[in-house]
Structure 1
Amino acid sequence: MARRSRYHNNNNQTMYSTDHNEFPGTLASWIAGSKPSHGNDGDDIAHILLGKAGEQREDGRRTAILQLLRYNFKPDSLTEVNVLPEKDVPVSMAVHPGGDGVILSFSQGCKFFELDSGKSKLKVSDIVLSSMQDIGPQKCLAFSADGSKFAAGGEDGHLRIFEWPSLQVLLDQPKAHSSFKDLDFSLDSAFLASTSNDGPARVWDIIKAAPLATLTRDQGESIDFCRFSRDGTKPFLFCTVTKGGKTRIAVWDITTWRKLGGKKFLDNPISAFGISRNGKFLAIGSTKGDISIIDVQKMQVQHSIKRAHFGAVITSIEFASNGRALLSVSPEWAARVNTIPYERDWKDWQIYLLLLAMVLLSVILFYIFFEHSDSFWNFPLGREQPARPPIEAILGDRVSSDDQNIW
């Protein structure tokens, strides 16, 4: 049954969200693999996978429900497509960027889920992740941008990096951290950055299967979330750094692993961090439910959404593949989709075409002035003199005065 969104407008930022507690969830992600399709009803469509807690079992644990939702950009609505019950609440989720499926971590290990070609049904895959079945809860899961590698960081601090889909082990580090908080692959899949709750942030060389660098931090600082740049030209690593209850975004140069600086964007601590697929924007969510979208090139806030989750902590945040919407999650106030004003970039050919149009317009206006304005030229008039000079008087005769003097 389709459920209509409510409309809000905060600081010129249009935001659409589901009704209160309509889709309460613990984690959610856009279903990747293709750009939003164009449906028969003329609406742009994308899909979301939402995991949420269900009823409490006799042993004290809760069951879970996996919901597949369809989001329509133009009607701005969320519709439930498919529901799959689970015996355990998912801890973390990673969606394959090529559309192969979704890996979810539970208390005992990981499962692989697949969707049909029309993204209308979710099911447990026949492919068994044998090397990941009994590894315990994984705090962080991540695919590389090209989908060729997969990483899992456990609550026990064990780091595993696999080749996908063969699941050949590329790196196995039992004591990488005390416990993981975040993971992210570099754009070329050569590096993996990892952060922990109470320890340093590290960078791993996947080719050499060894630690590469430990990010520098001041005394009393903690590095919480990490995202590599995505535009392919600026080799940066963005991290959220907290000290004394205040959080800023710091930037490291990944060629030298030297910190370049940092900047504060929110008054409250950052609890969720995301980057757009083209690398042009960062998104941060706070412990008070606020969202800011940051222009990476200028490192300035482009859009702000105050109390997007009505004061509740935001636990995850993710851009849609086309950059037109932002998915955010809080356990108290569900999964919400906030639309983002779409600003087109000027292409080189568009700039040249605009300049050419301006030149042609100038020529046309000059000609109109010349043909229809006598007073514009303001030449002294004799008895037989025309109201305005001939065009040769302005542009010059074809034969120069010097040539005339020869004869």
Structure 2
Amino acid sequence: MGSKKNMITDCLLAKVNFPLYAAEMLTSRHLMVAGGGGSAKTGVANGFEIYELYHNGKYFVAEEIQRHETGSRAVMNMSIKIMDKKTVLVAGQENHSQMFIVTSKVGQIPPKETATTTTTTNRRESTAEVRQRRRTESTTSHDTPKKPSATIDSSEKQMKRVYFEIKPGDSIQTDFFEREPLQRVVRISMNGKFMVTGGLDGHVRIWNFPRMTPLHDIQAHQKELDDVDFSPDSKHVISIAKDGVAAVWSVNNGREVMKLQWTPPENVKYLYKRCRYATIEGNSDKFRLFTISNPLQKAGKQRGFLQQWNIETGRLNNIVPIDESLSALSVRDDGRFLAVGTMFTGSVMIYIAFSLQQVLHVPNAHSMFVTGLEFIPVLNKDAPPISSDTEASVVSYSVDNRICIHSLQYRHTLPAWAAIILIVVILFLTFLLCSYFQI
């Protein structure tokens, strides 16, 4: 292994039989993933899958809780917000935002919400594999399949546990592109009062939430949007698009606050791919802004970049080159770590947020590009976080149908006070040694 950044726990959490496009932590220990095959008659269902995560002392385990199907529309993007003891989920389905009200329950999971009663096994698997595996394969870090549902005894079937009731709410059209409009991104603000959407028509639309009534319609970009995000204080929205522009907008009046400015190397045109705000660890009133960027045309030694911005000036604070194009970006809820996923090798990396020092590298975590990343929360979202022996853990997912987790072991470093004492002792011993030899 050698270096500390390779001291990791890497495992397959689960494998599903549909493409994965979005994921969020539904609670501090429940992961919701979403995707599907769309409206085409491929036999691939659309909807959500929910897993309960826990750490068994050696590695993380994902146990499938339930599945909720969404008809003929795949879930391409989503955002979740806990509000007044209920969870509100907004899912991007074609050119609409569909709201769902998610309520936690304790009891026996209703049959219609279980995965085993809603879809059939992936027909591309061999007959032997079908006998051994469920439609969705929840595994540990050693890829051990969970017990097939057919062998679960009656006492397990009657066991009460946390499950979720998912009910559809309002739906609104959010993109109006003249040819096949599509919502590409959605985010709910930290204070739960606003929602922002972006799609193929290049508009940034800010909505009152949860009423989902229009607040601002900003003709922000000349091409389709790739990402949006709210600042932690819910006062600003950043948007990035395929026109190469990254702009910050005022939630209050919908006006442009600034554009991000930098000079790419060798005058190569770069496009922003993802953007995320993050609070500064230990100070929720201050925050940082991160983006990832890729060259418009991959050639030669051109690389992707991880960027940290000055939110006052729109200029770069720090930049790190990465030897391939990037596809995903996530920041942990306390602002201490961030993670990136790559396009061609399906690799995952974790960085310290303030210094952009890489502390973990997982090559070839997926066979295709990393669709997205989601950190295991460490702050009190709704219940105590998962206890584990790792310093940071991030879930990655891809259209290769795999959900993986990558964990950074605690780095053994001296506390500041211990380092000071050690320095004083070394200086004192050096002085005594010099005095003894009369140097």
Match of 2:53 in 1: 71
Match of 1:147 in 2: 192
2-side partners of 1:148 and 1:64: how far apart? 29
Superposition deviation, residue 186 in structure 1: 0.9
2-side partners of 1:183 and 1:341: how far apart? 31
In structure 2, relative to structure 1, the CA distance for the partners of 1:108 and 1:184 (3 Å cut) is: closer
Structure with the greater relative contact order (CA < 8 A, sep ≥ 6): 1 or 2?
A: 2
Match of 1:328 in 2: 396
Root-mean-square deviation (Å): 3.3
Amino acid at match of 1:49: M
Amino acid at match of 1:283: A
2-side partners of 1:202 and 1:267: how far apart? 26
Is the aligned partner of 1:105 residue 2:157?
no
Superposition deviation, residue 185 in structure 1: 1.0
Is the aligned partner of 1:282 residue 2:338?
yes
Which runs of structure 2 are paired with 1:357-372 in the superposition (5 Å)? none
Match of 1:49 in 2: 32
Superposition deviation, residue 25 in structure 1: 3.3
Is the aligned partner of 1:304 residue 2:361?
yes
In structure 2, relative to structure 1, the CA distance for the partners of 1:108 and 1:179 (3 Å cut) is: closer
2-side partners of 1:344 and 1:251: how far apart? 26
Aligned to 2:334, what secondary structure does the other structure show?
Answer: coil
1-side partners of 2:413 and 2:89: how far apart? 32
Is the aligned partner of 1:12 residue 2:7?
yes
2-side partners of 1:279 and 1:227: how far apart? 11
Match of 2:121 in 1: none
Kindly, what percent of the aligned residue pairs are identical? 19
Superposition deviation, residue 149 in structure 1: 1.8
Match of 1:369 in 2: none
Aligned to 1:120, what secondary structure does the other structure show?
Answer: strand
In structure 2, relative to structure 1, the CA distance for the partners of 1:345 and 1:70 (3 Å cut) is: farther
Preserved CA contact (<8 Å) 1:240 1:250: yes
Match of 1:291 in 2: 348
Match of 1:85 in 2: 69
Superposition deviation, residue 158 in structure 1: 2.1
Superposition deviation, residue 56 in structure 1: 7.0
1-side partners of 2:172 and 2:33: how far apart? 25
2-side partners of 1:31 and 1:56: how far apart? 26
Structure 1 portions without partners, runs of 5+ = 1-8, 37-45, 363-407
Match of 2:277 in 1: 228
2-side partners of 1:163 and 1:81: how far apart? 32
Is the aligned partner of 1:316 residue 2:301?
no
Preserved CA contact (<8 Å) 1:114 1:123: yes
Give CA-to-partner distance per residue, 1:174-199, whole Å, 9 cap, x none.
45441010111111111111111233
2-side partners of 1:146 and 1:73: how far apart? 31
Residue 172 (structure 1) aligned to one of 217, 231, 241: 217
Aligned to 1:52, what secondary structure does the other structure show?
Answer: strand
Aligned to 2:104, what secondary structure does the other structure show?
Answer: coil
Amino acid at match of 2:170: V
2-side partners of 1:120 and 1:223: how far apart? 38
In structure 2, relative to structure 1, the CA distance for the partners of 1:230 and 1:174 (3 Å cut) is: same
2-side partners of 1:344 and 1:112: how far apart? 45
Match of 1:96 in 2: 81
Which runs of structure 2 are paired with 1:23-62 in the superposition (5 Å)? 24-32=18-26, 34=27, 36=28, 46-54=29-37, 57-58=40-41
Structure 2 portions without partners, runs of 5+ = 106-161, 379-390, 426-439
Residue 272 (structure 1) aligned to one of 328, 333, 340: 328
Aligned to 1:338, what secondary structure does the other structure show?
Answer: strand
2-side partners of 1:276 and 1:14: how far apart? 18
Give CA-to-partner distance per residue, 1:199-221, whole Å, 9 cap, x none.
31111111121112222243412
Query: How many equivalent residue pairs?
Result: 331
1-side partners of 2:247 and 2:38: how far apart? 38
2-side partners of 1:91 and 1:344: how far apart? 40
Is the aligned partner of 1:202 residue 2:184?
no
Match of 2:388 in 1: none
Give CA-to-partner distance per residue, 1:3-52, whole Å, 9 cap, x none.
xxxxxx99221112136x446432232334x5x3xxxxxxxxx1111223
Preserved CA contact (<8 Å) 1:229 1:235: yes
Match of 1:382 in 2: none
In structure 2, relative to structure 1, the CA distance for the partners of 1:338 and 1:25 (3 Å cut) is: farther
Preserved CA contact (<8 Å) 1:29 1:327: no
Amino acid at match of 2:93: F
Preserved CA contact (<8 Å) 1:25 1:329: no
The normalised TM-score by structure 2 is: 0.67
Give CA-to-partner distance per residue, 1:229-288, whole Å, 9 cap, x none.
312465432111223531112222111222334221x31211101111111111000011
Preserved CA contact (<8 Å) 1:97 1:143: no
Residue 156 (structure 1) aligned to one of 183, 186, 201: 201
In structure 2, relative to structure 1, the CA distance for the partners of 1:52 and 1:170 (3 Å cut) is: closer
Shifted more, 116-125 versus 75-84: the winner is 116-125
2-side partners of 1:344 and 1:158: how far apart? 48
1-side partners of 2:45 and 2:200: how far apart? 21
Give CA-to-partner distance per residue, 1:306-363, whole Å, 9 cap, x none.
2111x421011121212742111110142222233356999xxx988x89xx9xxx9x
2-side partners of 1:128 and 1:344: how far apart? 50
